Amino acid sequence: MLDENVTPAIAAANTKQMRMEQSHVELDRWMERYQQADPEATSALIGAVSPALLRFFKSQAANREQADDLLQETWMRIHRIRHTYRPGEPVLPWIYAIARRVRIDGYRRIRRITVHESLMDALPEPSPRIEPRDPLPEFETLIAALPEGQREVVTMLKVGGLSLEEVARATSSTVGAVKQKAHRAYERLRKLLQLGSESAPLEEANEM
Amino acid sequence: MKCDDFNSLLADNNQSGTLQLPEQAMDHLLACVGCQEFMRAFDLPAGAEIPSTELLRQLERTVTADLLPVRPLAPRRYFFATFVSTFVVIVALGAYCLGAFGIPQMSLAQNVAVLGALGASVCLLAWSIVQQMGPGSRHRLPPAILPVLVIVCLALVMASFFTVEEEANFWTQGLVCLRSGALFGLLAAIPFWFLLRRGAILSPRVGGAATGLLAGLVGTTALEIHCPILELSHILTWHLGVAILGAVVGFFVGFLEPNLVDVTSSLP
């Protein structure tokens, strides 16, 4: 084995993955108990899934306030259609599929509002830039430059800890399509990181 | 191994709990600063962005306030069987009411090809709809593409087995077929809609189009069994047209009245 050669990043990733796998089983059990109206399991499920969901919404170009609203909306919908979860199946794709729908609806709602509000805006928002002082940009800043589909896939894989199969289920897609998006996203992110290390703005990467 | 191969490996290997890199990849990672930085970019700080305690409590309160046990959705095969048997019953009703004059007019190859293609399309669509009813289900074919694929394949099968001929009353006879087919399609749409409401279709437009197409195929199949006209333009326009019309209507129902299809915003 190559244990002595494992870098801290890989070790952390391995530990995180192992913890995720273990917690996935627990999440599935909590969901089943939630369907049976167990309040403790419900609270545990909300506490366990909400941070990743919040981060999912934040990485999809929502601000904190919008992300909080989307999180609440997601739990309301989850509650209404909790009967559609089939015991024995992975719960995360089920939750993320609903969250994804809430995000799309929320995005449309926000867009409708901002179409009217944009007339009042004097200056456009500056594009996010990688701070030269920071050795690595924040995850959200980094992936903000990705196209929506790739951003969604990378966030589910890296923040939600979903497998390729689970992301495919959550996005009503195929594993092959998810793999392709992930690969393209990684290529683009690598370019961004290279540009970032040269203190170049993200805008340049977008133009590439 | 190159950085690009490393990307491919990461993209292929993202299974929960199996981030075990092969020896070659490890060697590359240890030698490549770029890849180390890349891996580090995904090492997310734990709890960097967590919901406030207040928000979590509020969510718990809201969700647990009316917490009642629910019966999980029935297994997929039951829904699938119900969709298919509804299809068969209404087609049989159509054949009984209108008469099966088309079957003896067609050759064995035409019968097998057309009815076989229709049957396969119905099974594919019914399974896709059943999968869509439960969020997070596995899709072998993307549900947004399937209706288009079904229509194209059916058109190709029909084009391969029928020929274009002169037809005296294209519009008159065609409109009679369209009306009869649409009637049976509409009849099928009602039980399909009730079935659909048991699940949660998250994409009302896609779900609406697929269900509309399935209902339309009831009409198309009934017409294939009934109509003795074997002229290609008649079949494509007035028989397959019923299915296309169903898909378009379903799409617009999902677009204009999403609550009719998407129960997530209305029903418990």
pLDDT, tens digit, for every residue of B91-102? 999 999 999 999
- Domain shared by B54 and B176, yes or no: no
Query: Domain for residue B73, yes or no?
Result: no
Q: Residue A131 — pLDDT band, cuts 50, 70, 90? A: very low
The residues in B 101-140 lying below 8 A from A, measured between CB atoms, are 132-140
CA distances from B236 to A137, B177, B220, B243 (A): 57, 12, 10, 10
DSSP assignment letter at B163? B
Nearest Cα to A160, choosing from A81, A75, A48?
A48
CA distances from B208 to A166, B156, B251 (A): 24, 24, 5
The average pLDDT across B205-214 equals 96
Query: Domain for residue B113, yes or no?
Result: yes
Query: Domain for residue B98, yes or no?
Result: yes
- Domain shared by B127 and B40, yes or no: no
- Domain shared by B4 and B134, yes or no: no
How are the residues of chain B apportioned to helix, strand and coil, as percentages rounded to the nearest 5? 70, 0, 30
- Low-confidence winner among A102-111, B98-107, B176-185 (lowest mean pLDDT): A102-111
Domains of chain A and any CATH numbers: 15-125 (1.10.1740.10), 127-208 (1.10.10.10)
Specify the long-range contacts of residues B117-122, CB closer than 8 Å, at least 24 apart. B117/B153, B117/B154, B117/B157, B118/B154, B118/B217, B118/B220, B118/B221, B118/B224, B121/B150, B121/B153, B121/B154, B121/B217, B122/B84, B122/B87, B122/B214, B122/B217, B122/B221
- Residue A131 and residue A207 in contact, taking contact as beta carbons nearer than 8 Å: no
Query: Domain for residue B217, yes or no?
Result: yes
Query: Domain for residue B21, yes or no?
Result: yes
Cα A189 to Cα A5: distance, rounded to the nearest angstrom: 25
- Residue B216 and residue B241 in contact, taking contact as beta carbons nearer than 8 Å: no
In total, how many domains does chain B have? 2
- Domain shared by B223 and B257, yes or no: yes
- Domain shared by B114 and B24, yes or no: no
Confidence (pTM): 0.83
- Domain shared by B61 and B122, yes or no: no
The residue segments making up the domain with residue B28 are 1-67
A174 to chain B, any CB pair closer than 8 A? The answer is yes
Determine, for residues B26 and A35 on separate chains, whether the beta-carbon distance falls below 8 Å: no
- Domain shared by B57 and B140, yes or no: no
Query: Domain for residue B9, yes or no?
Result: yes
Nearest beta carbon to residue A101 from set B36, B64, B202: B202
**Final residue before a domain boundary, out of B45, B67, B89:** B67
The residues in A 116-135 lying below 8 A from B, measured between CB atoms, are none
- Domain shared by B88 and B37, yes or no: no
Please write the tens of the pLDDT for every residue from B42-71. Answer: 766 555 668 888 899 999 999 998 899 999
- Domain shared by B29 and B136, yes or no: no
Cα B211 to Cα B193: distance, rounded to the nearest angstrom: 8
- Domain shared by B48 and B149, yes or no: no
Please write the tens of the pLDDT for every residue from A5-41. Answer: 555 555 554 555 555 555 778 889 999 999 999 999 9
Query: Domain for residue B194, yes or no?
Result: yes
Which is more confidently placed, B100 or A202?
B100
CA distances from B87 to B33, B80, B82, B94 (A): 60, 11, 8, 11
Query: Domain for residue B72, yes or no?
Result: no
What residues have CB less than 8 Å from B104, skipping those under 6 apart?
none
- Domain shared by B63 and B82, yes or no: no
Which is more confidently placed, A15 or B77?
B77
Radius of gyration from C-alpha coordinates of chain B: 25
- Domain shared by B19 and B110, yes or no: no
